[in-house]
Amino acid sequence: MTPQMLIAAAHIPAPHVPFGGLSPLLAFLGGALIVLMVGLMSPRRVREQGVPALAIIALGAAIGLTIWQWGDQRSILDGALRIDGTYLVANLILATGGIAAVLLAWRSAAGHEAAHGELHALLLSSLGGMSLLTAAQNTVVLFLGLELLSIPLYVLCATEMRRERSLESGLKYLIIGSVGSATLLYGLALIYGATGSSSFGAIAGAISARSLTGDVMLLGGITLAIAGFCFKASVAPFHQWTPDVYEGAPTPITAFMAVATKVGALVAFLRFFDVALIGASGDWAPTVAVLAAITIIVGNVGALGQSSLKRMLAYSSVAQAGYMLAGVVVASKLGVRATLLYLIVYLFMNMAAFAVIVARERETSFGDDIQAVAGIGRSRPWLAWPLTLSMLGLAGIPATAGFVGKFYLIDAAVSGGYTWLGVVIVIGSMISLAYYLPVVAAMWMREAPASAAAPAAGPSGEPGPSGSPYPAIAGGSPELDEAGSAPAHGGPHGEVVLVAVLAGAATLFFGIVPQPLFDLVAHAGRGLGLF
Amino acid sequence: MPPLSVLIWLPAAFGLRGALAGIGPLGRALARDGREQLVPGALALIASIAALGLAIGYIVEYGPGTQSGQTVTQTLQHVTNVAWIPALGIHYKLGVDGLNVLLIGLTTLVFAVAMLAANLRSGPGATERPRLYYFFFMLAESAVLGAFLAQDLALFVAFFDLMLIPFYFLMGMWGRGSRPDRIKATIKLVIYTLVGSLLMLAAAIATGVLASQQHGTHITFALSSLQALPLSKGSQEWIFLFFAAAFLVKMPAFPLQGWMPDGYRTMPIEVLMVFSGVLSKVGAYGFLAIVLPLFPKAAVHFQMLMLLIALISILYGSVVAFTQTDARLIAGYSSIAQLGFITLGIFALQPQGAEGALLQMVNHGLVVAPIFFIIFLLSRRAGGSEDIKDMGGIAFRAPVLATLFLVVALATLAMPGSANFVGEFMILLGLFKSKLVIAIIAFAGVAGASVYALRLFIRSMHNRVGEGVRSREISARDGLILAPLIGAILFLALYPQPALKRSEGSASAAIAEARLIAAPTVARVGAEEVSTPVVHSTPHLTVASGRHGSR
């Protein structure tokens, strides 16, 4: 490097980097690096306990930094990112979901097989991608965030390396996810071609200034972008991968994907469509509304009759994505708030459910089959109540946060002139009762199957006349059984029960006292941009 | 009187304390004696009796409107009004008016009796897992009271949906029959009824949002505010249908009764008493308190449809009731017929009809709960069977039981002298004024009621003594359970006036607007006779009536 070049470099105006605004993102990514390095240390204790602890510290720091930024509203890095209420609320959801996922993964088989350091580093960098995605104000950053989110997840799905389904899940997700990314990228390129800009604000300006609403290139771009987003958010008809991937992935990872990917994808959806393409909303809103309706019906119908709880929750998450799209469609402040509020509620309800599944996978040999929760109302009330509240919440029963969330979404849909979509949400909820209620029935109204080997089954644990004896290996592969039976002797895992109880309690609490959630999202809609 | 929240949440609080029995010094002391199983039941009994006491207090204190002149405005008493979710305009607003004051009395009475029955059922038939049982039972009472007292549409919907959840557990965990059948019946019932209430959720949200949009005001769900912001006729119509679906399922009315036979057969006896005695009334109450005041135009538009549904329910319920041999189903189908009468009274859109319907709601609750309990007693004397073919001759050694049953049976068939007679008479009177033909057909239902009620009585109490029947007198314990209900039936038979006086103002106010729209001239003449300020002081009513008059 010659001295001239150095001098020239000094003259290039270095962009001002506002580290304050970036700090939550940096906490995620920095945490990922530290965790990865610490994971290389040899003492077993450090790897198995220090690494998750550090990951939780990093996530806690992200929450702290997010709260520090509270109320901030500005664009940073030359308008590439936007720090606003939506970003901050999304970060809170992400970090909370991340902590729950780390706790669930702490003593899981995935952690043992893939090294702990890698597992948590991937988790944190995926969170970093989501965080970036929720702040993106630029198609390039948007794509960058999406890829940073996705690639670690492809690996994470396959972290139970000795289980075929896990590997299959990772591969499937990789292929489908890449198709989705490519489609989105193509769409973004076409939109760039039509508007001549990659910044959301400039795209919106170009659309309104040049009245591009019927432009073929723009329409093509929007169509492909919708398809790409729909792949990521598992919106029908691009949801086919969801059940297989959710079922195959290690359960803590499934929990993380179900919650965090939805946050990333939906907030990006909100920003891109409700800010950049707001001028063309006449073009895309009816399409997305129809997609939302299809998603709600397809997801809820698909979940019927599933005996695997993870598959059932996968279809249910498809349906929930449909509900939340209703908030995107109306393209209003109310819609943004309703979507964010539902994302928070959705976090609690899903974490409670997945934590119970994780606990039961370790305690019984049934894996994630519905048999695994049969009769736990009597033997494991601390798991049965959270799962009950979660199921009732997902079905939208009053006194749970799910009711409030659904109420707000329908409210937003009706206010935005999409009354029919509100009715579809309700019809979806009706269908959903047919698969949520049997789970509750299994917990409270059936006896534990004979071989569940729940230690605390008590005097009533003997099978009723109708309880059919299942062979001990009914759960599936031997690896799973091995993973499931090993910790069972060590007693239930406190941290898993803790996640379940806290998430269940939050579901109930925010159903009765929802005001804090409304306060939280109140200033989120304001800063989005162009309303 | 204490605020209404005390009444609503007292049962749930005691139920929760009961569920946590075994915690705290008292719980531990009892646990040492091995008596902790009795604590939840005792707490639930105390709570339900205290709630009954409170409810009686509210009834006594409730005066029928302002006495000066002949004012018949709806006065809301003991109002609690707190913003619950300000962002959505949802208030935690409770109040007692003429529509719900008697119904909370009915609710607390039937629940208290059910708790008495559950507590006295000791020995081998005692409830398993009492902590959860009484917790869910008390939660149910809280939710039902909340639904009756809510003065905010969203709050009503929340309570309405919520009250089903405890019944889901109560039926599924403690129901009769084999486990898979029981679970199937439970899920069927819950899905049937929740499907209706979810439609209502969408309709309720639409009501609030569209009302605020059409009038350019801030969103609110308070019933009083919504009443002042009438929706356009088109919106009213689809919203009406959604609400009607929810309420008709709950009643149940004719095409929507599919959950009833399996559900009624599955429920444990106390749950059945409460479900048939109280929950079916929430639907009918919803029509009077919510649908007619908020969607009067649609109510008039669909008046004929609703009357036909009610009429078919009466005929269908009566006919099926006297072909069934399962005693529970006889009573169940008779309820369909009775609820049909109540619907007729409401949609006659005449003050007498609405008043009669309200009275009949209370009467039916008071009658059907003891009938189910008597059927339970009969089945114990007939070797456990609830089929009337297996009964017969039970009166032989049980004159007191037979007398009590006869009182209830005669009340069911609306014998002159019973309050049911007054109720049915007023319903038909109201109907005569508006729809003569339907009233004439409905008389067939009155005849039908005497056939099925007497058939049930004669086949079980008289006739040839059944094979497995061992007639014995009603025990003091069971007599104690029946006494409050039969006492209430007799009291209302002798003094229907206090009940009517409390409800007439609110009942006629509830239908006033729909009545004006249905028959503007007649209603106005009638209104001038009693000089209702409701009519003169609200200009938009006259506008509406004028438009419809010219049609």
pLDDT in tens, A305-321: 888 999 999 999 999 99
A275 touches chain B (CB under 8 A): no
Mutate to test the interface with A, among B152, B169, B205 (most CBs of A within 10 A): B205
- Residue A477 Rama label (left phi>0; alpha psi -120 to 50; beta): beta
A423-448: average pLDDT: 90
Q: How far is A418 from chain B (nearest CA, A)?
A: 10
Q: Helix, strand, or coil here: A100?
A: helix
- Pairwise CB contact (< 8 Å): A398 & B158: yes
pLDDT confidence of residue A452: 47
pLDDT confidence of residue A487: 41
In whole angstroms, what is the distance from residue A502 CA to residue A99 CA?
12
Q: Helix, strand, or coil here: A443?
A: helix
Cα separation values, A286 from A417, A440, A453, B398, B419, Å: 11, 37, 52, 71, 57
**How confident is the prediction along chain B (551 residues), in pLDDT tens digits per residue?**
788 899 999 999 988 888 887 666 666 666 666 666 778 888 899 999 999 999 999 888 887 654 444 444 557 888 888 888 888 889 999 999 888 889 999 999 999 999 999 888 765 556 778 888 999 999 999 999 999 999 999 999 999 999 889 999 999 888 888 888 888 899 888 888 888 888 899 999 999 999 988 888 888 898 888 888 888 888 899 999 999 999 999 888 888 888 888 889 889 889 999 999 999 899 999 999 999 999 999 999 999 999 999 999 999 999 998 888 898 999 999 999 999 999 999 999 988 899 999 999 999 999 999 999 999 988 888 888 888 888 878 887 888 888 999 999 999 888 888 888 889 899 999 998 888 888 888 888 888 888 888 888 888 888 777 777 888 888 888 889 999 999 999 999 888 888 888 888 888 888 888 888 877 665 554 444 444 444 333 334 333 333 343 33
Q: Is the separation of the CB atoms in B251 and B192 below 8 Å?
A: no
Q: Helix, strand, or coil here: A320?
A: helix
DSSP letter for A493, please. Answer: -
Q: Is the separation of the CB atoms in B246 and B284 below 8 Å?
A: no
A397 touches chain B (CB under 8 A): yes
Neighbours of A48 (CB within 10 A): 16
Q: Is the pLDDT of residue A402 over 90?
A: yes
- Before B252, cis peptide (omega within 30)? yes
pLDDT confidence of residue B476: 85
Beta strands A74-76 and B90-96, pairing class: unpaired
Closest Cβ–Cβ partner in B85, B179, B191 for A434: B191
Both B437 and B395 in one domain: the answer is yes
Q: How far is B298 from chain A (nearest CA, A)?
A: 19
Cα nearest neighbour of A378 on chain B:
B129
A125-147: average pLDDT: 92
How far apart, in Å, do the first and last CA atoms of chain B sit?
49
Collect all residues of chain A within an 8 Å Cβ-Cβ radius of residue B183: 438, 441, 445-446
What b/e readout covers A208-222, taking b as 16+ CB neighbours within 10 angstroms?
eeeebeebeebbbbb
A514 touches chain B (CB under 8 A): yes
Range of B532's domain?
520-551
Dihedral sign (CA B480, B482, B488, B492): negative
Per the listing, tokens 């370790």 go with A362
Q: Is the separation of the CB atoms in A524 and A340 below 8 Å?
A: yes
Cα nearest neighbour of A515 on chain B:
B85
A451-476: average pLDDT: 39
Q: Helix, strand, or coil here: B150?
A: strand
Q: Is the separation of the CB atoms in B105 and B51 below 8 Å?
A: no
Q: Helix, strand, or coil here: A481?
A: helix
In whole angstroms, what is the distance from residue B47 CA to residue B12 CA?
9
Amino acid at B379: S
Both B485 and B533 in one domain: the answer is no
Kindly report the three-state secondary structure assignment for every residue of A368-381.
CEHHHHCCHHHHCH
Q: Is the separation of the CB atoms in B254 and B316 below 8 Å?
A: yes
Closest Cβ–Cβ partner in B157, B180, B195 for A430: B195
Cα nearest neighbour of B218 on chain A:
A415
- Pairwise CB contact (< 8 Å): A407 & B87: no
In whole angstroms, what is the distance from residue A422 CA to residue B13 CA?
35
Residue B325: phi and psi, rounded to 5, are -115, -15
Beta strands B77-85 and A81-83, pairing class: unpaired
Cα nearest neighbour of A514 on chain B:
B85
Q: Give the number of beta-carbon pairs within 8 Å between A and B.
A: 96
- Pairwise CB contact (< 8 Å): A430 & B191: yes
Read off the pLDDT of residues B430-445 as tens digits, 9 standing for 90 and up. 998 888 888 888 888 8
User: Is position B314 within any domain?
Assistant: yes
The per-residue pLDDT of chain A, averaged, comes to 83
Mutate to test the interface with A, among B165, B213, B237 (most CBs of A within 10 A): B165
- Pairwise CB contact (< 8 Å): B179 & A392: no
- Residue B475 Rama label (left phi>0; alpha psi -120 to 50; beta): beta
Amino acid at B382: A
In whole angstroms, what is the distance from residue B167 CA to residue A24 CA?
46
Using N-to-C axis directions, what is the helix angle for A200-209 and A164-195, rounded to 10°? Answer: 40
Query: Please, which residues have CB within 8 angstroms of residue B526's CB and are 6 or more apart in sequence?
Result: none
Query: Please, which residues have CB within 8 angstroms of residue A235's CB and are 6 or more apart in sequence?
Result: A229, A291, A292, A295, A318, A321, A322, A325
In whole angstroms, what is the distance from residue A126 CA to residue A59 CA?
12
Residue B95: phi and psi, rounded to 5, are -170, 155
Both B526 and B392 in one domain: the answer is no
Per the listing, tokens 């039936």 go with B489
ipTM of the complex as predicted? 0.86
Q: In sequence order, which ranges of B124-232 are alpha helices (DSSP H)?
A: 130-149, 153-162, 164-174, 179-215, 223-227
Which of A380, A378, A353, A385 has the alpha carbon at shortest distance from A488? A380
Q: Which of residues 147-176 of B touch A (CB under 8 A)?
A: 154, 157-159, 161-162, 165, 168-169, 172-173
Q: How far is B386 from chain A (nearest CA, A)?
A: 24
Q: Domain count of chain B?
A: 2
Q: Is the pLDDT of residue A149 over 50?
A: yes
In whole angstroms, what is the distance from residue A261 CA to residue A149 CA?
8
In whole angstroms, what is the distance from residue A427 CA to residue A422 CA?
9
A376-401: average pLDDT: 90
In whole angstroms, what is the distance from residue A268 CA to residue A276 CA?
11
Cα nearest neighbour of A403 on chain B:
B158
Cα nearest neighbour of B87 on chain A:
A518
B216 touches chain A (CB under 8 A): no
In whole angstroms, what is the distance from residue A374 CA to residue A443 CA?
5
Query: Please, which residues have CB within 8 angstroms of residue B107's CB and are 6 or more apart in sequence?
Result: B55, B141, B144, B145, B148, B278
Both B456 and B544 in one domain: the answer is no
Q: Is the pLDDT of residue A239 over 50?
A: yes
In whole angstroms, what is the distance from residue A104 CA to residue A519 CA?
29
Q: Is the separation of the CB atoms in A329 and A335 below 8 Å?
A: yes
User: Is position B162 within any domain?
Assistant: no
Which of A95, A84, A92, A120 has the alpha carbon at shortest distance from A105? A120
Radius of gyration for the alpha carbons in chain A, expressed in angstroms and rounded: 23
Both B497 and B524 in one domain: the answer is no
Residue B19: phi and psi, rounded to 5, are -65, -30
Which of A120, A150, A129 has the alpha carbon at shortest distance from A52? A120
In whole angstroms, what is the distance from residue B270 CA to residue B249 CA?
21
CA dihedral (B154, B158, B160, B163) in degrees, to 10, reads -160
pLDDT confidence of residue A14: 67
Both B327 and B459 in one domain: the answer is yes
pLDDT confidence of residue A509: 94
Dihedral sign (CA A306, A310, A314, A319): positive
Name the β-bridge partners of B85: B90
Amino acid at A301: V
pLDDT confidence of residue A66: 86
Name the β-bridge partners of B326: B387
